[in-house]
Amino acid sequence: MIRSITRQKPEEELDQLLDGLGRVFIIGCGTCVTLTHTGGEPEVKAMKETLSNKGKLVTGEMVLPVACDNLTAEALKEYGEQIEQSDVLLIMTCAFGVQTIARQLEKMVVPALDTLFMGKETGVGQFDEICTQCGTCILGETGGICPVTSCHKGLVNGPCGGTSNGKCEIDSEKDCAWTLIYSRLKELNRLDSMRKMQKPRNHHGEPSPGKFKLSA
């Protein structure tokens, strides 16, 4: 399953963001951030304690089932009064959740997390970015391994000169994407694919910000 991968902001940054805002309502999420231990029930409780120790008044806290879901509007209503009493909503979800909530309420929002990437759980507690949603998929020519995402330079025409023992020049712990692609294509007897000239990427394939509407 795809997960939104997040990291808690440094304490000093949060202190600055909450400076002068005495009454805080905390919102977590039961999905991705629960899995990554950045905004689930225990983290929300810990945040409540931290803020209380700093002299903030926590008017309430809740963990939404799925913060980015449209039902969030309904769930928030249950806490209407506590939310109303607060100066700010401290939101321990990914930025999708933060924005979903911000659209529902006329309240100042402060994200407690930084949103890093859309990741896939590839092992216990291990999340990897395997797709950057570039809009111009070439997986059919790279043995199902994405160089746009997995190569640190996003090279689409083969490796740079920095591969060392199958690892990337910038991180000896990280496999060189093109070595993986080469090995896979060799296994599949499809090395010819590496000869193909990939054209300069169509960055308009992922016009930023992306927008998509189902046709009637």
- Give the x-and-dash track for 155-174 against other proteins (CB under 8 A): xxxxxxxxxxxx--xx----
Binding segment for other proteins among 12-20, 60-68, 92-100, 198-206 (CB under 8 A)? 198-206
Residue placing its CB nearer to other proteins in the complex, 125 or 200:
200
Q: How far is the CB of 78 from other proteins (least distance, A)?
A: 41
Nearest to 36 by CA among 113, 91, 101: 113
Place of tokens 């928030």: 76
Nearest to 95 by CA among 13, 29, 22, 21: 29
User: Is 203 a binder of other proteins (CB under 8 A)?
Assistant: yes
Q: Which of residues 126-155 bind other proteins (CB under 8 A)?
A: 152-155
**How far, in Å, CA of 120 to CA of 97, rounded?**
18
**How far, in Å, CA of 181 to CA of 158, rounded?**
9
Q: How far is the CB of 16 from other proteins (least distance, A)?
A: 19
Q: What is the torsion angle, in degrees rounded to the nearest 10, for the CA atoms of residue 11, residue 14, residue 20 and residue 24?
A: -100
Q: How far is the CB of 200 from other proteins (least distance, A)?
A: 5
Name the 3-class secondary structure at 155: coil
User: Is 184 a binder of other proteins (CB under 8 A)?
Assistant: no
Q: What are phi and psi of 173, to 5 degrees?
A: -90, -15
User: Is 207 a binder of other proteins (CB under 8 A)?
Assistant: no
Q: Where on the chain is the footprint of other proteins (CB under 8 A)?
A: 152-166, 169-170, 179, 182, 194-195, 197-201, 203
